[in-house]
């Protein structure tokens, strides 16, 4: 794809955003390979996607600081990126830093409000905030001569709105904006994107584009969008393992998941209000695959010594033939950001592609990327991969004469 694509990251100075940008630029400089990117292997590698090294980055954040500083801290604390990679991309990150604007922390809960520098200007109306966001998107597009801007939310976890059903129609959303109801920031970013025709991805557990009124908006505007909550670690494992138990008719009686992590995301999740959304999307993945009377608990605890290395310990008790009680336990240790970042790039590419193809509304072929895929009931990973395969089969680029010559 030769179009020029911009990727606007909400939460741009966070770990996931920064790691995604480091990776894209490191790939551009040949300083790392594309391991971990779904779009770089079959089936997606056959699509005519925008090149990773051509992606242009910008974004919002609410904390001062810079992407370079976040990158330094990640290198220092977790060793990812390593020094050589960081050196290779430092200048590029500094350029990106110029394109990061101050966003809004409105209705993000106390934990986020506390970390937001400059606070949240309570005197601004939601309409004014949304207007500012839209201006930021537009300026990014214009300044960088972009054909398309994909907006991806990788900001901190917010509390879920108390009554999301309230916002089930475009009208309800518009009224909420007019009347300064407590719409969370993620939904303001989503509204601004969808209303402006920008494809939108919600990588967080936040409400964002999950509200019915925003889905309606996307359909009306003909914009592709998807979410929510990137599936990177324990939940990825769950969606992989649960179908095995189901397919073998083994009855899972209890699934205990205990996550410990030590990064900023973990710190924000210490706040029970902010954690609620995460627990909801993590827990839900077993629904529909396993028995309903399953004892299913997820714990997320903040353990500073771990830094960005999340450790999940899961204990699964299942009953088999002749009432035999058996068990599986696993320990997953991954760098959360290194797992999430390549998916952010994948989603940017796949959503730009969908937009180019004129698709609009929810994009179910992307279900495998999310803990709680909007509009998709299937939680089994392999079946979700199958949806992506089918999509690719339909959309795979017909090799042009020129393309074939290139292969020589």
Ligand X SMILES: NC(=O)c1ccc[n+]([C@@H]2O[C@H](COP(=O)([O-])OP(=O)(O)OC[C@H]3O[C@@H](n4cnc5c(N)ncnc54)[C@H](O)[C@@H]3O)[C@@H](O)[C@H]2O)c1
Binding site for Na ion (CB under 5 A): 222, 360
Residues 6+ apart with CB under 8 A from 162: 182
Structure-token pair, residue 334: 């991954």
Pick the binder of ligand X from 62, 86, 89, 150 (CB under 6 A): 62
3-state helix, strand, coil in the chain (%, to 5): 50, 20, 35
Closer CB to Na ion, 200 or 255, in the complex = 200
Q: Which stretch binds ligand X (CB under 6 A): 105-113, 126-134, 164-172, 174-182?
A: 105-113
Shortest Å distance, C-beta 291 to a second copy: 11
Contact 327, 252 (CB under 8 A): no
Contact 240, 192 (CB under 8 A): no
Chain positions 11 to 50 lying near ligand X, rule: CB under 6 A, are 11, 13-16
22 touches which of a second copy, ligand X, Na ion, none (CB within 5 to 8 A by kind)?
a second copy
Q: What are phi and psi of 397, to 5 degrees?
A: -65, 130
Contact 255, 234 (CB under 8 A): no
Shortest Å distance, C-beta 142 to a second copy: 31
Residue 107 is a binding residue for ligand X (CB under 6 A): no
332 touches which of a second copy, Na ion, ligand X, none (CB within 5 to 8 A by kind)?
a second copy
Site string for ligand X, 269-308 (x = CB under 6 A): ---------x------------------------------
Residue 112 is a binding residue for ligand X (CB under 6 A): yes
Residue 68 is a binding residue for ligand X (CB under 6 A): no
Q: Which stretch binds ligand X (CB under 6 A): 6-14, 43-51, 77-85, 251-259?
A: 6-14
Closer CB to a second copy, 136 or 346, in the complex = 346
Enumerate the β-bridge partners of residue 102: 61
222 touches which of a second copy, Na ion, ligand X, none (CB within 5 to 8 A by kind)?
Na ion
CA distance 126 to 132: 10
Shortest Å distance, C-beta 241 to a second copy: 6
Closer CB to ligand X, 152 or 392, in the complex = 152
State the DSSP string of 277-329: HHHHHHHHTTBTTB-TT-EEEEEEEE-GGGTTEEEEEEEEEEE-GGG-EEEEE
249 touches which of ligand X, Na ion, a second copy, none (CB within 5 to 8 A by kind)?
a second copy
Closer CB to ligand X, 182 or 399, in the complex = 182
CA distance 382 to 238: 12
CA distance 215 to 208: 10
Closer CB to ligand X, 63 or 360, in the complex = 63
Tell me which residue has tokens 């994909």. Answer: 150
Pick the binder of ligand X from 74, 100, 108, 190 (CB under 6 A): 108
Shortest Å distance, C-beta 203 to Na ion: 20
- Rg over alpha carbons for the chain, rounded to the nearest Å, is 21
265 touches which of ligand X, a second copy, Na ion, none (CB within 5 to 8 A by kind)?
ligand X
Closer CB to ligand X, 58 or 230, in the complex = 230
Q: What are phi and psi of 182, to 5 degrees?
A: -75, 60
CA distance 391 to 55: 23
Shortest Å distance, C-beta 325 to a second copy: 7
- 118-145 per-residue burial string, b: 16 or more CB within 10 A, e: under 16: eebeeeeebeebbebbbebbeebbeeee
Structure-token pair, residue 207: 């409400």
Q: Is 258 exposed, middle or buried (0-12, 13-18, 19+ CB in 10 A)?
A: middle
80 touches which of ligand X, Na ion, a second copy, none (CB within 5 to 8 A by kind)?
a second copy
Closer CB to a second copy, 2 or 324, in the complex = 324
What residue ranges bind ligand X (CB under 6 A)? Answer: 10-11, 13-16, 60-63, 103-105, 108, 112, 115, 154-157, 185, 203-205, 229-230, 232, 263-265, 268, 278, 336-337, 339-340
């Amino acid at each position: 794809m030769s179009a020029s694509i911009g990727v606007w990251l909400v939460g741009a100075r966070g770990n996931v955003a920064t790691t995604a940008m480091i990776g894209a630029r490191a790939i551009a400089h040949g300083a790392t390979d594309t391991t971990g990117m779904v779009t770089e292997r079959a089936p997606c590698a056959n699509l005519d996607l925008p090149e990773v090294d051509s992606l242009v980055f910008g974004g919002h954040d609410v904390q001062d600081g810079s992407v370079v500083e976040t990158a330094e801290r990640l290198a220092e604390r977790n060793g990812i990126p390593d020094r050589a990679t960081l050196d290779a991309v430092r200048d590029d990150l500094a350029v990106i830093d110029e394109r990061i604007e101050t966003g809004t922390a409105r209705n993000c809960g106390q934990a986020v409000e506390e970390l937001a520098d400059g606070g949240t200007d309570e005197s601004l109306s939601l309409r004014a905030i949304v207007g500012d966001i839209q201006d930021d998107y537009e300026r990014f597009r214009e300044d960088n001569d972009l054909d398309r801007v994909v907006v991806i939310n990788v900001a901190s976890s917010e509390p879920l709105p108390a009554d999301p059903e309230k916002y089930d129609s475009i009208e309800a959303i518009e009224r909420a904006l007019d009347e300064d109801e407590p719409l969370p920031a993620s939904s303001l970013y989503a509204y601004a994107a969808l209303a402006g025709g920008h494809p939108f991805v919600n990588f967080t557990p936040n409400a964002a584009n999950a509200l019915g009124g925003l889905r309606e908006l996307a359909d009306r505007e003909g914009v592709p969008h998807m979410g929510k909550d990137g599936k990177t670690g324990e939940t990825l494992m769950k969606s992989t393992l649960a179908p095995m138990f189901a397919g073998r008719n083994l009855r899972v009686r209890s699934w205990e998941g205990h996550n410990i992590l030590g990064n900023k995301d973990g710190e924000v999740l210490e706040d029970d209000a902010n954690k609620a959304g995460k627990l909801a999307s993590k827990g839900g993945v077993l629904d529909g695959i396993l028995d309903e009377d399953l004892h299913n608990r997820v714990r997320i605890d903040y353990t500073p010594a771990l830094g960005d290395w999340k450790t999940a310990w899961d204990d699964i008790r299942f009953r088999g033939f002749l009432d035999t009680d058996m068990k599986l336990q696993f320990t997953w240790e991954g760098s959360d950001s290194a797992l999430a970042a390549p998916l952010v790039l994948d989603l940017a590419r796949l959503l730009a592609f969908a937009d180019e193809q004129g698709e609009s509304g929810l994009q179910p072929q992307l279900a495998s990327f999310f803990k709680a895929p909007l509009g998709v009931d299937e939680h089994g990973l392999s079946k979700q991969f199958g949806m992506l395969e089918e999509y690719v089969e339909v959309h795979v680029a017909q090799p042009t004469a020129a393309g074939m010559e290139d292969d020589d």
